[in-house]
A = this chain, B = another copy of it.
């Protein structure tokens, strides 16, 4: 069942754009791991980066966190992060844009 992960990542002072560049760096490992959608954005909150992800399953998302590429990426991001996080996760059950599966 498609899994959604939506969140905010606080950026260290002055590092928001670096964090955006890091998170949007092309990663075919994510697709291979079952990532269907991964949008990164900015909004009204300063020093905040927004992410919106869809995965083939919650298990695929969880497993991706153990991939060497993803672990390296998380380690590289650490100095850009303030530590503040927010958001939520859910199981997708449908969409008004398509007929039921």
Contacts and interface: CB of A to CB of B under 8 A. Distances in A.
Interface residues of A, number: 38
B90 A24 contact: no
Copy total for this chain: 2
B4 A41 contact: yes
A74 to B, nearest CB: 13
Contacts of A52: 4, 6, 52, 54
Interface string A5-42: 01010000000000010011111001100010111111
Contacts of A44: 89
Given A27-B97, A97-B27, A97-B31, A92 B39 contact: yes
Closest A-B pairs by Cβ, 4 of them: A24-B94, A41-B90, A43-B90, A50-B90
